[in-house]
Structure formats: structure tokens, C-alpha cells
Amino acid sequence: HAKRIGRNNYQFYNQHIGGLTKNTLEMASLLHRALQYEEFSLHYQPQYRADTEQLAGFEALLRWHSPQLGQVSPADFIPLAEENGLIVPIGEWVLRKACETNKKWQLEHGVFVPVSVNLSLRQFYQQDLVQRVADILFETDLEPQYLILEITESIAMQEDAAARILHDLRKLGVCIAMDDFGTGYSSFKQLRYFPIHQLKIDQAFIQDLDSDNGEAIVGAIIALGHNLGTEIVAEGVETEAQAVALKRLGCDLLQGYFYARPQPEEAITDLLKIRT
Ligand code: C2E
Ligand code: MG
Ligand code: MG
Ligand code: MG
């Protein structure tokens, strides 16, 4: 606790000097009210099958529009929400909203693809995560195979606990994706013990595809994942050349600006209308 107080003092001291630390404090206090004031929304980014280019799923991505700060990037506010625990109620809102929307697309457009939701570390280790997920699926009437939970390699800090939670989620029938694969640590050990359905190759590797050894590394990740029975998703696909290379390497799903940007629910609904 002393550490926290120390840190706050440091920030207080600094607010007279630079904008950055002051902004962090201000952002933290605004974040506390953001749920209540309905400042959050979800964008959805389509994923496509590499072989047929058919729609294969959506990733739900959180957006925060603060009247005071404007649009704030999740890269800035998620770490803050993680630190002060707000990520738990926020994450629950994301889960419910994503499941609700996916159910709506099923009912109104006959589109049956999974929605992927990012789980933060703290959310993953919250007391009753499995029960909460079960409750949300029940309330929104979404079948579990239409929900994919994205975790990162960081959950393996407590390997046994993580394996237990993942197996319980699996029993529930939801799918698990390992996000940002290749950037964390001890990846191989986890792959042996964790029930993982999808590996998402981090976009850094996709950007490096055209560099020396770039294809060799992505090809090795794809082969590894396939040997372990997982599906491979490439994220951050920005160019046609990347898409072509990924198809040739046998990647299963493609996600990135080259195909579609993350978009508000209404824009996706329009896209589904055109499609059907
Ligand atoms: P992520 O889960 O790895 O999500 C992919 C990020 O890459 C998203 O950034 C997406 O907009 C971006 N992206 C997609 N295609 C491309 C592309 O072709 N090029 C480039 N340069 N970027 C692309 P975003 O939406 O800013 O989210 C950043 C991170 O914030 C996410 O990374 C995820 O870790 C976290 N995040 C977002 N929403 C949530 C949430 O609801 N809960 C939690 N816990 N974390 C979230
Ligand atoms: Mg993700
Ligand atoms: Mg990622
Ligand atoms: Mg990322």
C-alpha cells in the first residue's frame, strides 16, 4: 500500500511540471464514471476465412469517448482500468454487450459466427469468472460456441490456476484464443497444458512478413499451431501482399485493415444486410 501512496505523491508533484502524469490522474477519475455515463461502446472487426474469404467472426474492441478527453485509445485506458480494478465491471459490460449483439445478428440476419472478446489479466483471475460468463450466456441466450475469449500469454504467471480456469471455461463450451502470440514468454509450455482453440499471430510478425526470415517465423507458428490442433488467425493484415503470403502459408483466418477496420455495430449491421 505504501507503494501506491508513494506513486500518487509522485504524480501529484509532477502535475505542475508535465501534462502526462496529470492526464493519467484525470483519466483515472473520469474512467470511474464512464460506465455510469454510458461513454463506452464496442467496435467490431470482421475476420475472414483465408481460403474462401467468407466471414468467419468478429473481434469486439472497446471504445471510450470521454466528453472531457475526447476519444481515448484502449492502449491508454485499459492498463489504467487494469491497475485500479475497474476493468472487472467494464469487462463484464463488454462481454454482455458483445454477446447481446452477436445474438441479434443471428436472429435478424441469420449470421452465425463467433464474437471474440478480450479478457484482461485481472478479469481472468476474478473470483467467479466462469460463473459470470455462464450467466451472461444464459441472459443473452447465446450458445457458448459463438463466444471466443481472448487471453494473452501473461495469464501463465500462475500456470496451474490458469489451466484450471481454462478447463472450466472449456467445459462451459466457450472457445479460447491466445492473443498476441509470440510476444510473451513461455509460449510453448502453455500450449501443452492449456486448451486453446485459436492462436492469434501478433501483428508485429505480420508487418515483418516481407523481411528476412519473416515468412519462416510466421510459417513455423502456423505449423506449430496446426500440429497442436488450433486454428491460426493473423491480425493486423494491412496489405494484399501480406494476405497473399498468409494464404500461401496456410493461415486459417485473416483480420486487419486490408479487409475491414473495426466499426460500430450499425456499420456492421449494414454490411450484413448487403451480404444477405
Ligand atoms: P488486440 O486485442 O491485439 O486487438 C487488435 C488491435 O489491432 C486493435 O487495436 C485493432 O483495432 C488493431 N488493428 C486491427 N487491424 C489492424 C491493422 O491492420 N493494422 C493495425 N496497425 N492495427 C490493427 P485497438 O482497438 O486499439 O485495441 C488495442 C488493444 O486494447 C487490444 O489489442 C486489446 O489488447 C485491448 N482491448 C481492446 N478492447 C478490449 C476489451 O474490451 N477488453 C480488454 N481487456 N482489452 C481490450
Ligand atoms: Mg484481441
Ligand atoms: Mg492481438
Ligand atoms: Mg495487441
Atom of ligand 1 nearest to the CA of 262: 11
Nearest ligand atom owner, CA of 206 = 1
Q: Is the pLDDT of residue 21 over 50?
A: yes
Helix (H) or strand (E) holding 255: strand 253-255
Nearest ligand atom owner, CA of 257 = 1
Q: Is the pLDDT of residue 68 over 50?
A: yes
**What residues does the ion ligand 2 have nearby, CB within 5 Å?**
118, 150, 179
Please report which confidence band the pLDDT of residue 275 belongs to, taking 50, 70 and 90 as the band edges. low
Q: Is the pLDDT of residue 243 over 50?
A: yes
Which residue's CA is minimally distant from atom 21 of ligand 1? 236
Task: Report percent pLDDT > 70 for the chain.
Answer: 90
Q: Is the pLDDT of residue 250 over 60?
A: yes
3/128 Cα distance (integer angstroms) = 28
Let me know: does 221 contact 232? Beta carbons within 8 Å. Answer: yes
Let me know: does 57 contact 148? Beta carbons within 8 Å. Answer: yes
pLDDT single digits (tens) 1-18:
334 444 444 444 444 445
Q: Is the pLDDT of residue 128 over 80?
A: yes
- Lowest mean pLDDT segment, chosen from 10-24, 75-89, 116-130, 142-156: 10-24
What pLDDT shows up at residue 184?
Answer: 77
What is the pLDDT averaged over residues 52-76?
Answer: 96
What pLDDT shows up at residue 8?
Answer: 45
User: Model pTM?
Assistant: 0.92
Counting ligand 1 atoms within 8 A of each CB, the residue from 40, 41, 61 with the most, and so the one to mutate, is 61
Give me the helices (H) in 110-202, please.
Answer: 121-124, 129-140, 159-172, 187-193
104/213 Cα distance (integer angstroms) = 44
Atom of ligand 1 nearest to the CA of 87: 44
- Do strands 253-255 and 231-235 pair parallel, antiparallel, or not at all (unpaired)? parallel
ipTM reported for the complex, 2 dp = 0.98
pLDDT single digits (tens) 134-190:
999 999 999 999 999 999 988 888 888 999 999 999 999 999 999 999 887 656 777
How many whole angstroms from 10 Cα to the centroid of ligand 3? 32
Which residue's CA is minimally distant from atom 10 of ligand 1? 262
More reliable by pLDDT, 262 or 24: 262
Q: Is the CB of 243 under 6 A from ligand 1?
A: no
What pLDDT shows up at residue 182?
Answer: 86
60/100 Cα distance (integer angstroms) = 12
pLDDT single digits (tens) 35-46:
999 999 999 999
How many whole angstroms from 63 Cα to the centroid of ligand 1? 10
How many whole angstroms from 16 Cα to the centroid of ligand 1? 33
Counting ligand 1 atoms within 8 A of each CB, the residue from 118, 198, 254 with the most, and so the one to mutate, is 118
- Rounded to the nearest 10 degrees, the angle between the axes of helix 159-172 and helix 129-140 is 20
Q: Is the CB of 45 under 6 A from ligand 1?
A: yes
253 is written with which cell numbers? 483466418
Please report which confidence band the pLDDT of residue 73 belongs to, taking 50, 70 and 90 as the band edges. very high
